Amino acid sequence: MKAKEISVIVRTNASMNLSTLFRAPSPLFPPPHSTATSRTNATENIAIEGRNLNFSITTRQGKVVPILQDCSLRIPSGQFWMLLGPNGCGKSTLLKILAGLLSPTGGTMYVKGPKSFVFQNPDHQVVMPTVEADVAFGLGKFNLTNDEVRSRVSKALDAVGMSNYLKRSVQTLSGGQKQRVAIAGALAETCKVLLLDELTTFLDESDQFGVIKAVRNSLDSSEEVTALWVTHRLEELEYADGAVYMENGEVALQGDAASIMSYIRARQSAYIKQINS
Ligand SMILES: Nc1ncnc2c1ncn2[C@@H]1O[C@H](COP(=O)(O)OP(=O)(O)OP(=O)(O)O)[C@@H](O)[C@H]1O
């Protein structure tokens, strides 16, 4: 099966799971260990909500290993949030649960649909010969006219700053440009929630900020799109409206980007003091 087909099946299965797996969002709950002030309030339109999400795996020896423990988060519609934390703390696992790619072993969640999961390696989902064909790829299921397809492709490429690349072969694109084409594909399908898994890990600085700015611009040009972005790179936080910080499989803190930045910086300097003492 081609990679592109896998990504489309992922999208389809994810929305099919919504009715069985996701329950209605609760009107209000505070994150369990939050100290930072979040922009959210009870009257806001919530795009992503998880409550006490747990995930564990069972080893071949029958031992249950907890990966996520009581993770709660809530992200308002139209905002760009980041999911940060040390290696192995559970960020990708939580993102995959929110995408419907993994089933939680406990807890409840709601994610507005349609939603799309964008993989770290763009070659896993950008496989059509040209940019135009790739962005149009997922539109077959909508029964659109050629003009409507062209209009959606053009609007989506505009949102990610790739309008001039319409006829380009995808083989000639950089990693970051391919990521932007993958995001445009999701936008063309009128995706409401983008779940983005460490897109910039292997990109150079120029490509890295090209992708972040493309996501930021996509959200700014449509109030309906929400993005959750997993990253290790603290400098990316300045583009976010809010962030969730994880440690050891738990949500340690969630709030506005500045508060999360201060929290992480304080943790880093405490750590540096500790190793220097
Ligand atoms: N299928 C699995 N089997 C065994 N362990 C797993 C499995 N999936 C995840 N884990 C473990 O769960 C923990 C969380 O993994 P996850 O990939 O979600 O972390 P992460 O925060 O995204 O890490 P990184 O920043 O390094 O990408 C890790 O210790 C990982 O080894």
Choose which residue among 56, 58, 67 to substitute to test ligand 1 binding: the one with the highest number of ligand atoms within 8 A of its C-beta: 67
Q: 3-276 has which CATH code?
A: 3.40.50.300
Q: Indicate the residue type of 136.
A: A
* % of the chain surpassing 90 pLDDT: 65
Tell me which residue has its CA closest to atom 26 in ligand 1.
87
Indicate the pLDDT class of residue 32, thresholds 50, 70 and 90. very low
pLDDT at 36: 38
pLDDT digits (tens, 9 = 90+) for 240-268: 999 999 999 999 999 999 999 999 888 88
Please indicate whether residue 124 or residue 9 has the higher confidence score (pLDDT): 124
The secondary element (H helix, E strand) that includes residue 55 is strand 46-58
ipTM rounded to 2 decimals: 0.96
Tell me which residue has its CA closest to atom 2 in ligand 1.
57
Averaged confidence pLDDT in the chain = 84
pLDDT digits (tens, 9 = 90+) for 171-225: 999 999 999 999 999 999 999 999 999 988 878 888 888 899 999 998 998 888 9
Tell me which residue has its CA closest to atom 14 in ligand 1.
90
User: What mean pLDDT comes out for the span 42-46?
Assistant: 69
Residues 9-43, buried b or exposed e (16+ Cβ, 10 A)? Answer: ebbeebeebbeebbeebeeeeebeebebebebeee
The pTM for the full model equals: 0.82
- Measure 118 CA to ligand 1 centroid, in angstroms: 18
Please give the biggest Cα pair distance in the chain: 68
- Measure 88 CA to ligand 1 centroid, in angstroms: 5
Choose which residue among 63, 64, 82, 91 to substitute to test ligand 1 binding: the one with the highest number of ligand atoms within 8 A of its C-beta: 91
Indicate the pLDDT class of residue 11, thresholds 50, 70 and 90. very low
- Measure 91 CA to ligand 1 centroid, in angstroms: 8
Indicate the pLDDT class of residue 10, thresholds 50, 70 and 90. very low
- Measure 216 CA to ligand 1 centroid, in angstroms: 27
- Measure 233 CA to ligand 1 centroid, in angstroms: 18
Pair of tokens at residue 148: 């409507």
Helix boundaries (H) for 67-204: 91-99, 131-136, 146-159, 175-188
Ligand 1: residues with CB < 6 A are 57, 67, 85, 87-93
For the chain, which residues make up each domain, given as ranges?
A: 3-276
Choose which residue among 64, 65, 92 to substitute to test ligand 1 binding: the one with the highest number of ligand atoms within 8 A of its C-beta: 92
pLDDT digits (tens, 9 = 90+) for 110-169: 999 999 999 888 888 888 999 999 999 999 889 999 999 999 999 999 999 999 999 999
